[in-house]
Amino acid sequence: MSEEKVEKKVSVGLPISFSEFAKEPVKGVMFLCLVAVGYLYVDLKLNYNKQIDKQGIKIESLEAKIDDLSNQLRKSDSLSSSANSKILLLEQLGKIK
Query: Per-residue DSSP letters for 4-65?
Result: -----------SS-HHHHHH-HHHHHHHHHHHHHHHHHHHHHHHHHHHHHHHHHHHHHHHHH
> 4 lies in a domain?
no
Domain count along the chain:
1
Range of the domain at 85: 18-93
pTM: 0.49
The pLDDT value given to residue 96: 78
Q: What is the mean pLDDT of the chain?
A: 86
CA–CA dist 97, 95 (Å, integer): 7
> 1 lies in a domain?
no
> 3 lies in a domain?
no
> 5 lies in a domain?
no
Does position 25 have pLDDT exceeding 80, yes or no? yes
> 84 lies in a domain?
yes
> 87 lies in a domain?
yes
> 57 lies in a domain?
yes
